[in-house]
Amino acid sequence: MTKKKAIATPGRTKEILEKYQFFFKKSLGQNFIIDANILVKMLETANISKQVNTIEIGPGIGALTEQLAIHSNKVLAFEIDQRLIPILKDTLQDYSNVEIIHQDILKADLPNIIKDKFANDQRPVKVIANLPYYITTPILMELLIARLPIESITVMIQKEVAERMAAHQSTKEYGSLSIAIQYYTDASVPMIVPPTVFRPQPRVDSAVLHLVMRDHPPVHVEDEEFFFSLVQASFMQRRKTLRNNLQRHFKGSLDKTEIESVFTETNIDGTRRAESLSIEEFALLANTFQIKIG
């Protein structure tokens, strides 16, 4: 038997697409990877081994799924596009450790599916994917907020979004998304990826974002919803001061003197801009404002 080439090669991908007369749906963010080296590097970043179970979002024709089948214990992959289900059955027929679930990841009951599919299995679960770019943020926020029993998330996403998610204080990329990601994870961007490794090629550069889940948030906040809405409001108009953005946010519930008293109590200058605040300062502001509101 001749050894099959990896799915993530230009030749094999072309062959599969032609065999099934598959056409890409832009609306589903379909950009398939044709370079197995990139996938191997992603697996190295995620530290994938046979001691790990994996969840993939959007297997496409199985480029990454195949590598996960070879290198991890069990793979659970969620694919929304019905046309890809029979293709995956064919391309991944040699691997008995892969389960494809035909479902929109945003509608999947992940806590129960994880419990059910990885029952009595002590191996950690890691999420790894080349995400559909049109829903990167909702997917990641969904995974984080649900506080799933997963160890890490390693995803290919649009470079600009990856940089915003992993941004540090006092940079132009730093914003409410960076704070949210930092609250749940330790984030890094280990790899920038050019459009040439995809079919079709996206118009933007991509990057691998690696998120390691935290056991506990780095700060204590009394009410997460209140905290995140304060962070978002602080960045509402980036060029404006905290005072300005927060006066607008608390209009009708706190007057200007009460708002100033919070700046005094927390020793955070209201003339600062949100991008200069650390997550600790945002937590302090949110907890203090919450007491004022009662």
Q: How far is the CB of 155 from ligand SAM (least distance, A)?
A: 10
Q: Give the span between the Cα atoms of 9 and 37, in whole angstroms.
A: 10
Of 193 and 221, the one with the shorter C-beta distance to ligand SAM is 193
Tokens matching residue 285: 């502001």
Binding pattern for the stretch 39-58 against ligand SAM, x by CB under 6 A and - elsewhere:
------------------xx
C-beta separation of 211 from 127 below 8 A: no
Pairing of strands 32-33, 185-193: unpaired
The yes or no reply on residue 81 touching ligand SAM (CB under 6 A) is yes
Q: Among candidates 237, 224, 205, which has minimal Cα distance to 282?
A: 224
Of 84 and 180, the one with the shorter C-beta distance to ligand SAM is 84
The yes or no reply on residue 72 touching ligand SAM (CB under 6 A) is no
The total number of residues shown for the chain amounts to 294
Q: How far is the CB of 259 from ligand SAM (least distance, A)?
A: 41
Total of residues contacting ligand SAM (CB under 6 A):
23
Q: How far is the CB of 253 from ligand SAM (least distance, A)?
A: 37
- Could you report how far apart the first and last alpha carbons of the chain are, in Å? 72
Running DSSP on this structure, what letter comes out for residue 127? E
At a CB cut-off of 8 Å and minimum separation 6, what does 241 contact? 270, 271, 272, 273
| Residue at shortest CB range from ligand SAM | 58
The yes or no reply on residue 28 touching ligand SAM (CB under 6 A) is yes
Tokens matching residue 120: 């009595």
Of 2 and 82, the one with the shorter C-beta distance to ligand SAM is 82
The yes or no reply on residue 63 touching ligand SAM (CB under 6 A) is yes
Q: How far is the CB of 262 from ligand SAM (least distance, A)?
A: 41
**What ranges make up the beta strands (E) of the chain?**
32-33, 53-57, 75-79, 98-102, 125-130, 152-158, 185-193, 198-199, 206-213
Q: How far is the CB of 30 from ligand SAM (least distance, A)?
A: 5
- Crossing angle between the packed helical segments 224-234 and 176-184, to the nearest 10 degrees: 150
Give the torsion sign (CA, 191, 196, 200, 203): positive
Of 84 and 285, the one with the shorter C-beta distance to ligand SAM is 84
The yes or no reply on residue 60 touching ligand SAM (CB under 6 A) is yes
Binding to ligand SAM in span 111-170, by CB under 6 A? 130, 132, 135
Q: How far is the CB of 40 from ligand SAM (least distance, A)?
A: 13
Beta bridge partners of 101: 78
Q: According to CB under 6 A, which one of 6, 64, 254, 277 is a site residue for ligand SAM?
A: 64
Pairing of strands 75-79, 53-57: parallel
The one segment of 42-50, 73-81, 167-175, 235-243 that binds ligand SAM by CB under 6 A: 73-81
The yes or no reply on residue 197 touching ligand SAM (CB under 6 A) is no
The yes or no reply on residue 104 touching ligand SAM (CB under 6 A) is yes
The footprint of ligand SAM (CB under 6 A) covers 28-33, 57-60, 63-64, 78-81, 84, 104-106, 130, 132, 135
